[in-house]
Structure 1
Amino acid sequence: MYKNKTVNWLACFSLLSLCLGVAQAAVSPQEAEALKGKLTPMGAERAANADGSIPAWTGGFTQVPAGFQNGHRNVDPFAADKPLFSITASNMQQYADKLADGVKQLFKDNPQTFRIDVYQTRRTAAAPQWVYDNTFKNATEAKLEGDGLIVKGAYGGVPFPIPKTGLEVHWNHLSLWRGESTHSKYKVWTTTADGKQVLATAAVDEAQYPYYYKEGSVATTPDPEYMLAIQATYAPAFRAGEALMLHSGFDYVKGRTLWQYLAGQRRVRRAPSINFDTPNVVASGVNFIDENFGGVGSPERYDWKLLGKKEMYIPYNDNRLLAHSDQDVMGTRHAKPEMMRWELHRVWVVESTLKPGKRHAVPKRMYYYDEDNWGSAIMDGWDAEGTLWRTSMTTPFVAPDIPATVNYCTSFFHDHRTKAWVYNCALGDAGNDQYSTAERRRESFFSPESLTNQSAR
């Protein structure tokens, strides 16, 4: 059961708005005042839940560890915490109402090895004050146009901190706060059902987020891009020298722009077909492009229905993954349970179903978005026969120097049919380059000409 009558009203309003094809208006100034009291500055419920198992939000986690060096994320600030209890295949039903279907399937498929260790809930999500200030402005000014594919009137904060539709929640996820400019070095591992581990990609990623340039505004930057990124592959050997460049903005009527550099061709080319359910070459085709990072790319092929909010066990504050080598993290059919931290959090629940006349290999998905940082925590997907097929789980980590709880990075994907799985954006082997803030580059750095020059070197 979902949480209250307000949630049910929101779901009906969401469905009606989408069916009518109307633009979703911003909330009233009176509603926005909740961001200064009842709600956190980012739009989550500020208060604890009824029994205190989810504490009140008190500002997030902004305490930078002594001796911290930029790029070092291998210090777990909560290493002394012990599990409150564990969920196993034998007691799963006791907690079933707080588990996603994909997580339940992992218990069924791996009854002897899969386990969830539940820890004290720590509401670590935080952002600078200027992000909070922009979020407050967005609440009364941001709106959706173009059947929900265009965001207008938002800048530098959560676009829709008091969401009324499923698409608004999803846009919050796409544009979530994770810093202004970042650098990371990561690996993508695929594992077969029999436990064979294969390095699919090792890459360096340079990214920045014009939407979050501190000095900007809606007036000066009316159509910002929420991500510019270049991924340069250096291993395995047969893929070394490849590169991808992405420009993602707030207008999916125009579409996002992606370029690809193939070392053998020695040129950069537009790659509009790398989208939706295109097999993801970065993960050797085990998952689809739009399953990365909890769901990316245009939402145009689906109808999005806001079902409300509920309490769920989700991966959270998983700095432990960064403090251990990738090999230490990976088990045979899933991550080793002792390496994962799960917590109870409130999540927004959104169902996406394929629009009539549209095509996608996954016609139905359920998303669970963390209320505090807006990132998609778990995404389940069903096939055309209604059988649960695919599950993605993000594993956010604390970065108090930014400050942020970074959601768009480390994650896991499971194919319930083949039992193959992916450890995506693994940072345990990255040394000093796990996830660092970086000096903002000229935006010309993220141009096809620049990509050609970088790749040729």
Structure 2
Amino acid sequence: MNKMNIKTLLIAVIASMTVSLSAVFADGHKYTVTADNMSEHSSMLTPGMMNMFSAYPDTFKMNVHANGGDCTLDPDVAAISQTNGTMVNDNEGIEVPNVGQVPFPDPSHPQHYMWNYRMYAGTVSAVDRVQTSVYVKNDGSLTIGQQETSISFPTNPRTKTMYADNNLFALFMQKNLGPPRTAGTVTLVHDFIDSYVQPRKAWQYSPATRRVRRAPDITYDTLTTAGGGIVTVDSYGGFNGAQDKYDWKYEGKQTMIVPINNDDLANNAIEDVFTPNHPNMDMVRFEERDVHIIHATLKPGQRHLYASRTFYFLDGQPGMLVYHDAYDDNQDLMRANFQTTVAGNMGGIGLTDTACNVQGEYTMDFATRAYAGTNLFGPALSPRQTVYNGEEKAVSFYTPDGLRRYAR
């Protein structure tokens, strides 16, 4: 065979390989996990996700892509986050070298991961937004809500307003815009870093009574208004509030299939995303990433809807939460939650292009076969731009009187 023929043959072979590879990657992902091949990937799946394959074998799947971009910390926050802080008061409080830093840039204790995630919201000074919630019944019918929310984080170095209480982590005001049965309900929360010293304070305005009342039960396993009866208050935002009801255990680092870089969910209409039983899995993007696994077991004598819970945090900073499995008293899996993450502003303003942001929280309830999407953001879901690090509300806004004025 002469050189020209050999060259022609090589070109043909390479061209054939290119066509074949193009066919494999034409739809944008490397491989798909289904109920049929789930066992081949079980080491990279949470119990919650494996249960989803069992519950919905004909529709649940995971399209796994090549790894995309990594989210990063705000440079100003990263610069001051060089040294670990210390947990105090039975690990319910923290003391850190720099106000506003990541508490534990080199985590060595299971609760360090919880603290890093819980305090991540404070890497911005203020948030002004309208988020969407969707509850999907087992028959596929949708209940759509929206919540207008303002939050200030006094611990952020950019925060201009001065607060006398250094233990104050967040001031939170939320007005329900819908659905009609909850429209007009307004909730004010003062959230503290150290709940051992100062438990959360909350007030709520009811349009039925036109009164503002203290709401001491906006904590732990109280059910949220937007979650359709399957999302607890301390699952809002992935996890928030006191950690004192549980004993915490680190269960290692592992490569798993996780939802990340989920711009499709932010850019598609509710009716296209929220299909029966679970979100439209053609729109959920997964990658293989290292995660840290933290398991929480209810302490003796404590009460909570969830007897145990397992959290899965992305390796590195900012250590976003990607999964949360919740178990009942019999250690049966009650609910599986996954959080979808994007980089940048999702149609908002005030963040760097590589800042990590939660696009939404999706909670599947196995008993009712219903699910909820909460804290949903994106151009197709938010009626106006979210503003980060923008103008802060006056201190008087986050008071019971301010709540009353805002509600009316």
TM-score (norm 2): 0.85
Letter of the 2:343 partner, please give it. V
CA distance in 1, matches of 2:167, 2:261: 30
* Residue of structure 2 in register with 1:240 after alignment: 183
Query: How much has 1:127 moved relative to structure 2?
Result: 2.7
Give deviations 1:352-371, integer Å, cap 9, x for gaps.
00001111121111100112
* Residue of structure 1 in register with 2:3 after alignment: none
Larger mean Cα displacement after TM superposition, 174-183 or 382-391: 174-183
CA distance in 2, matches of 1:348, 1:134: 23
Give deviations 1:131-159, integer Å, cap 9, x for gaps.
012211xx24x111111001112521210
Which of 321, 326, 329 is equivalent to 2:270?
326
Query: How much has 1:293 moved relative to structure 2?
Result: 2.0
Letter of the 1:278 partner, please give it. T
Which of 333, 336, 343 is equivalent to 2:287?
343
CA distance in 1, matches of 2:184, 2:129: 17
SS, match of residue 374 in structure 1? coil
CA distance in 1, matches of 2:179, 2:399: 25
Contact 1:291 1:392 in 2 (8 A): no
Which of 384, 387, 395 is equivalent to 1:436?
387
**Does residue 450 of structure 1 match 2:402?**
yes
CA distance in 2, matches of 1:121, 1:247: 38
* Residue of structure 1 in register with 2:12 after alignment: none
**Does residue 360 of structure 1 match 2:304?**
yes
* Residue of structure 1 in register with 2:29 after alignment: 83
Provide closer, same or farther for how the CA distance between residues 93 and 261 of structure 1 changes in structure 2, counting only shifts above 3 A.
same
Provide closer, same or farther for how the CA distance between residues 419 and 111 of structure 1 changes in structure 2, counting only shifts above 3 A.
same
Provide closer, same or farther for how the CA distance between residues 134 and 396 of structure 1 changes in structure 2, counting only shifts above 3 A.
same
SS, match of residue 422 in structure 1? strand
Provide closer, same or farther for how the CA distance between residues 436 and 187 of structure 1 changes in structure 2, counting only shifts above 3 A.
same
* Residue of structure 2 in register with 1:52 after alignment: none
Letter of the 2:110 partner, please give it. G
Q: Which runs of 5+ in 1 are unaligned?
A: 1-79
Contact 2:344 2:357 in 1 (8 A): no
**Does residue 106 of structure 1 match 2:52?**
yes
* Residue of structure 2 in register with 1:299 after alignment: 243
Contact 1:367 1:376 in 2 (8 A): yes
Q: Once the two structures are aligned, what percentage of the paired residues are identical?
A: 25
* Residue of structure 2 in register with 1:311 after alignment: 255
Letter of the 1:317 partner, please give it. N
Larger mean Cα displacement after TM superposition, 170-179 or 359-368: 170-179
Query: RMSD across aligned C-alpha pairs, in angstroms?
Result: 2.2
Q: Find the structure with the greater CA-based Rg.
A: 2
Provide closer, same or farther for how the CA distance between residues 222 and 369 of structure 1 changes in structure 2, counting only shifts above 3 A.
farther
* Residue of structure 2 in register with 1:189 after alignment: 134
* Residue of structure 2 in register with 1:94 after alignment: 40
Which of 376, 380, 401 is equivalent to 1:426?
376
Provide closer, same or farther for how the CA distance between residues 149 and 331 of structure 1 changes in structure 2, counting only shifts above 3 A.
same
Give deviations 1:321-349, integer Å, cap 9, x for gaps.
11111111111110001111111221111
Contact 1:86 1:118 in 2 (8 A): yes
Which of 148, 160, 164 is equivalent to 2:104?
160
Query: How much has 1:91 moved relative to structure 2?
Result: 0.9
SS, match of residue 286 in structure 1? coil
CA distance in 2, matches of 1:81, 1:215: 44
Structure with greater contact order relative to length (CA < 8 Å, sep ≥ 6): 1
* Residue of structure 2 in register with 1:149 after alignment: 92
Give deviations 1:82-121, integer Å, cap 9, x for gaps.
1111111111111111111101111111111011111121
* Residue of structure 1 in register with 2:21 after alignment: none
CA distance in 2, matches of 1:103, 1:318: 17
Query: How much has 1:307 moved relative to structure 2?
Result: 1.8
TM-score (norm 1): 0.76
Query: How much has 1:427 moved relative to structure 2?
Result: 3.0
